[in-house]
Structure 1
Amino acid sequence: MTIPNRGPASASARARGELDLDALRAGVGGRLLAGIDQAVVWDVAMRTPFRGLTRRDGVLLHGPAGWGELAPFWDYDADACAPWLAAALEQATVGTTDLPRYRQTVPVNITVPAVAPDRARALIAAAGASTATGPARSASRRPDAVPVTVKIKVTGARLSERQALAADMERIEAVRDAIGPRGRIRIDVNGAWDLETARKLLPLLDTAAQGLEYVEQPCGSTQALADLRRLVNIPIAADESIRLSADPLAVTRLDAADVAVLKVAPLGGVRRCLALVERLGLPAVVSSAIDTSVGIGAGVALAAALPELEHACGLGTVRLLARDVAVPSAVPANGALPVRPVHVSRALLRSASADAEVTSRWQARLAHIAAALQRRREREVADPGRAVAGLRL
């Protein structure tokens, strides 16, 4: 059963995980959350630790267009979270049905966290993509099938950190062994290297992978990405240089990347992403932030609305969660996700709903995020030049 549109619950009727919308509206004058009739906090365990997390939580907002998701990580402050709320409100109040749809399915990569080689192989096998020796090497994968793409998190180790570097290389080699020679491997460094470290280490990891599709955000600064791009013959993708930057268009001005990584929530919504990628003029990869199927649905809508999509997208992370809130869940089949509406299940949402402590934390946090979004919008109206990339939030 999916959850229908309904009015706000009274304090006595609020179910486990539900937020007090009246209190939230009072804090921001009712303008931001006027179209929202339900807000539910979810909290689930992760099957595999990711970014040091063993649990993931967030808020689902319900409005006239359906459900939107707000799930910024807890180390983000209210100002950094403002675009995440804007994206959730867009999804819940406006939706994406009016956007163009250039494809019916979206190719998706497998995500391998910084785990041991055996665990990496198991994750690939669980995704039904292993082409290594043994039963998983299947004649069921046609020779003309789309190659498997795997995104591997690396630790960002330096040359002097021999043990961590060796672990990264062993993980990459295990993935190559599992997916075979036709598979594509990309690595994500999360900006951990300086320019000289990246220059020295990338060729080693490229060799371990027997050729990288690209490396995502090897260095922290956009200028360092530009300098590195002139030193190595490995494609570079920009992530943090776009979503965390006050000047994301510098990626294009400095000729710093071959690929733009777009994440709907931290960039403020699907429409804002579409406008930004047009300004960047780069091939795009749509990625997620370890969302439920609700957040993944926004990413799929963005990927479907891009006129060109040359690379598999990072939208297969629901597998990392122990449970989901939608039926069917946004779990890829044969390396792709269908473009379709997301249906939140009442039973699944109830089972994933947060306890009183987590709900209380989100009640206070959402009030701060809403106030930060309201302030940012007021600033951008008063001074349009302060809007990032010229795109008001």
Structure 2
Amino acid sequence: MRPTIDDLLATARVVSLPLRTRFRGIDHREALLLEGPRGATEFSPFVEYDDAEAATWLAAALDFGWGDEPAVFRSSVRVNATLPVVEPGRVAEVLDRFSGCRTVKVKVADPGQRLEEEVARVRAVREYLGPEGRIRLDANGGWTVDEAERAVHALAEFDLEYVEQPCESVDELAQVRERIRYMGIGVAADESVRKAEDPLAVARAGAADLLVIKAQPLGGIAAAERIIAEAGLPVVVSSALDTSVGLSMGAHLAAAVPQLEYDCGLGTAALLTADVTDAPLTPIDGAVPVRRIDLSAGLLDRHEASADRRDWWLDRLRRCYALLDALDE
């Protein structure tokens, strides 16, 4: 049974957590935390998302806090480090926070970045990792097809694992995949899965070699498991710059995937300077454990969002809950 909106409001806490490095254009990550019978859960769609998209994230929070526990195949999940757009001289400083991670996801295609700057940043990552480490790129749909091809050619010397969402549309992904296939560099789809009306369209179109799967944007662990099963492609389970609670949701999803070939994007608590628990889900020896998170009352108080931001989130919670109710009807 779905909890009532009053049940949710009774435990809702809104936090604003500072980031170590500016990421996705923000310096603080806001999130709304809830307590269900299964434990703490998270509702944290980015502030620019409309209510229809955000309601799917609420469905995920309710699934994790009130739904069935998924069956899991592993007790820990190997994760990648995530490198925001930083100067090459800061690469080691950022990556040192990701203990034992053998894979680095490098953010690229940032507005205003020149290709030679991205080459310098990726070169610094390769020097940090050595020859055995793995490098993947994430463009967040920021390139045209021609720009993507040019960038992959320029960066291929650093032995890329794959490039994530190089372009925005499924058709563009298919074109890029065809153009770079001969180099042995795969194409991963992220936004074309989590922001699409049909998350399976990219798989049916043969436009990607693997899918990036995120529990919150897809409506929760059970919904994500169905998409993984139907897509029939390898997956990387990732996060959306969540608190440790949201990362726990992602870790449970990753643990429920029978075949997990790639390191997952669930180490991003290392990008936060604060969290909502005394035992954050940060990488240890390149992995995170699959466990529930105990909220810290002291940290929730310390990082509580301002009154106007709290009201904004609670209003958003009410609107998204009403959308879920309407869909059920």
The TM-score range, normalised by the shorter chain, is over 0.9
Amino acid at match of 2:220: G
Amino acid at match of 2:291: R
- Deviation at 1:33? 3.0
Number of the residue aligned with 2:281? 330
For the Cα contact (< 8 Å) 2:99–2:283, is it kept in 1? no
Let me know the Cα RMSD of the aligned residues: 1.7
TM-score for the superposition, normalised by structure 2? 0.94
Query: What is the count of residue pairs matched by the alignment?
Result: 324
In 2, the alpha carbon distance for the partners of 1:72 and 1:156 equals: 21
In 2, the alpha carbon distance for the partners of 1:113 and 1:288 equals: 14
- Deviation at 1:105? 1.1
3-state SS, counterpart of residue 342 of structure 1 = coil
In the alignment, structure 1 residue 280 sits paired with structure 2 residue 231? yes
Number of the residue aligned with 1:258? 209
Number of the residue aligned with 2:142? 192
- Deviation at 1:327? 2.9
- Deviation at 1:35? 5.0
In the alignment, structure 1 residue 151 sits paired with structure 2 residue 122? no
Amino acid at match of 1:192: G
- Deviation at 1:336? 0.2
For the Cα contact (< 8 Å) 1:78–1:368, is it kept in 2? yes
Cα deviations by residue, 1:292-339 (Å, 9 ceiling, x for unpaired): 110000000000000000000000111111111123110010100111
Amino acid at match of 1:311: Y
Identity %: 43
Number of the residue aligned with 2:297? 346
For the Cα contact (< 8 Å) 1:79–1:373, is it kept in 2? no
In 2, the alpha carbon distance for the partners of 1:95 and 1:354 equals: 30
**Which one has the largest radius of gyration?**
1
Amino acid at match of 1:217: Q
- Deviation at 1:211? 1.1
For the Cα contact (< 8 Å) 1:291–1:317, is it kept in 2? yes
Number of the residue aligned with 2:36? 63
In 2, the alpha carbon distance for the partners of 1:34 and 1:248 equals: 32
Number of the residue aligned with 2:194? 243
- Deviation at 1:363? 2.1
Q: Kindly report which structure 2 residues correspond to 1:291-310, keeping only aligned pairs within 5 A, or say none.
A: 291-310=242-261
Cα deviations by residue, 1:150-204 (Å, 9 ceiling, x for unpaired): 00001256xxx7x621111111000000010000000100111122222222111
Cα deviations by residue, 1:254-299 (Å, 9 ceiling, x for unpaired): 1111111011111000110001100111111011111111000000
Q: Kindly report which structure 2 residues correspond to 1:367-378, keeping only aligned pairs within 5 A, or say none.
A: 367-378=318-329
Amino acid at match of 1:223: D
In the alignment, structure 1 residue 204 sits paired with structure 2 residue 154? yes
Amino acid at match of 1:331: T
- Deviation at 1:95? 5.1
3-state SS, counterpart of residue 114 of structure 2 = helix
- Deviation at 1:32? 4.7
In 2, the alpha carbon distance for the partners of 1:87 and 1:353 equals: 22
